């Protein structure tokens, strides 16, 4: 019984840590690099896509580490999602609502990441035309309003999950034990949510101006 509790405790810690590094850090970086779409297709393909490929000499190793972290965080997050219980119907507090949204966005974000990787990374790996002009590929994707709506929902869900996850991680790791500290840190995490969501929407605008 004690060993089971220790494994669960350690898994929770690793789950929390992988949500910050590398998954959360990569999400923020990925939204920032995609926001460079505002500079146009030639700049994006030459300086962002190819620039990142040249910068990351160990790209495959980094992608494997990132994939393992996402899979662990996503799968174990779903385990937590099914095990947890919300008292939203009984206690309609802001904290309980955030708890419910964290559980819900765990599922939607995992599904969104898989879909996004399939539509971009896998497509670029199987179609030389996509790899040569990723900007044009994204433009064609966003020509469909349904895709735009799904991306907005997916981005907002992912950025909320990250921001609220950071707030929860601070409690998990004993950094904000006092209620006042938790409240103040919640404001900082809310600002992070707004900033990262703006980056994501800005990227959509850059790829296809006519929807914004």
SS3 177: coil
pTM of the model: 0.88
Instruction: Determine contact, residues 86/96, Cβ cutoff 8 Å.
Output: yes
Mean pLDDT of the chain: 86
Q: Which domains does the chain have, with CATH numbers?
A: 2-211 (1.20.1300.10)
Asked if the model's pLDDT at residue 172 lies above 50, the reply is: yes
- Closest by CA to 77, choosing from 169, 2, 4, 154, is 169
- The model's pLDDT over 78-105, given as tens digits with 9 standing for 90+, comes to 787 777 665 555 545 777 788 889 989 9
Between 87 and 11, residue with greater pLDDT: 11
Low-confidence winner among 27-31, 46-50, 144-148 (lowest mean pLDDT): 46-50
Burial letters 4-24, b for 16+ CB under 10 A, else e: eeeeeeeeeeebbbbbeebbb
Element (H, E) at 25: helix 25-34
Q: What was the pLDDT predicted at 84? A: 65
């Amino acid at each position: 019984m004690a060993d089971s509790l220790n494994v669960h405790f350690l898994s929770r810690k690793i789950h929390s840590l992988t949500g910050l590094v590398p998954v959360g850090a990569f999400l923020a970086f990925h939204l920032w690099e995609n926001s460079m779409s505002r500079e146009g297709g030639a700049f994006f393909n030459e300086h962002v896509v190819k620039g990142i490929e040249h910068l990351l000499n160990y790209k495959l190793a980094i992608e494997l580490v990132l994939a393992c972290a996402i899979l662990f965080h996503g799968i174990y997050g779903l385990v937590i999602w099914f095990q947890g219980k919300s008292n939203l119907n009984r206690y309609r507090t802001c904290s309980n609502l955030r708890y419910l949204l964290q559980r819900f966005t765990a599922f939607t974000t995992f599904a969104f990441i898989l879909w996004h990787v399939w539509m971009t990374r896998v497509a670029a790996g199987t179609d030389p035309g996509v790899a040569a002009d990723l900007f044009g590929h994204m433009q064609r994707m966003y020509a469909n309003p349904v895709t735009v709506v799904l991306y907005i929902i997916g981005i907002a869900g992912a950025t909320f999950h990250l921001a609220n996850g950071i707030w929860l991680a601070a409690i998990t790791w004993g950094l904000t034990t006092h209620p006042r500290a938790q409240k103040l840190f919640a404001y900082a995490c809310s600002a992070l949510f707004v900033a990262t969501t703006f980056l994501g929407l800005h990227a959509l605008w850059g790829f296809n101006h006519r929807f914004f």
